[in-house]
């Protein structure tokens, strides 16, 4: 399904904080809501990038030509998917699009942890490594080409680099 979104890598302004920054990711959830990860320009007192913000379109000041249309397999959301390498299985609840074009799917397993009674934490995985009834699997050649054109971020980056926390902070309607 075609989704009209702001181009990642776009520099824009957060109207609430008046910070200038760059859109590094966007997230679309099962309800079709889109949120943007906004990296303000600048470093904190420890020399690290300022903490990213999660913003909806209404908070951003941008030019109309900053939009693009992206084909997003929204039909996968709400279905059961599995990350092949780890076996992590659950419902696909969100897509995360990285600035390099890579798509990740956020998977929410069923159940709770016996010790804490907390829900099992969701995780995000490169869509190309997942299987499910609605996922069209790529051939080895297609997968290799896709990874060269849109490499996935590595899993050992720090929390500041990973959008993994997006699902825990994006407001749900």
Return the domain boundaries, the chain: 2-71, 74-169
What is the per-residue pLDDT for 165?
42
pLDDT tens profile 88-125: 999 999 999 999 999 999 999 999 999 999 999 999 99
C-alpha 10 chain-centroid distance: 16
Instruction: Provide the residue count of the chain.
Output: 173
Rounded Cα gap, residues 141 and 31, in angstroms:
33
What is the per-residue pLDDT for 157?
37
CATH topology of domain 74-169: SH3 type barrels. (2.30.30)
CB 92 within 8 A of CB 72: no
From the options 3.40.50, 1.10.357, 2.30.30, 1.20.58, give the CATH code of 2-71: 2.30.30
Q: Tell me if 2-71 shares its fold with 74-169.
A: yes
Res. 76: pLDDT tops 80: yes
């Amino acid at each position: 399904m075609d989704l009209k979104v702001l181009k990642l890598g776009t520099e824009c302004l957060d109207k609430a904080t008046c910070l200038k920054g760059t859109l590094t990711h966007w997230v679309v959830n099962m309800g079709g809501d889109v949120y943007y990860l906004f990296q303000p320009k600048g470093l904190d007192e420890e020399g690290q990038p300022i903490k990213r913000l999660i913003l909806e379109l209404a908070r951003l000041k941008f030019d109309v030509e900053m939009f693009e249309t992206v084909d997003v397999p929204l039909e996968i959301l709400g279905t059961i998917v599995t990350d092949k390498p780890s076996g992590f299985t659950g419902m696909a609840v969100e897509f995360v699009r990285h600035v390099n074009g890579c798509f990740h799917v956020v998977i929410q397993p069923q159940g709770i942890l016996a010790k804490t009674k907390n829900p099992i934490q969701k995780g995000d995985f490169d869509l190309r490594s997942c299987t499910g009834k609605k996922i069209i699997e790529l051939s080895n050649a297609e997968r290799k080409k896709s990874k060269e054109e849109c490499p996935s971020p590595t899993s050992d980056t720090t929390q500041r680099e990973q959008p993994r926390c997006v699902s825990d902070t994006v407001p749900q309607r």
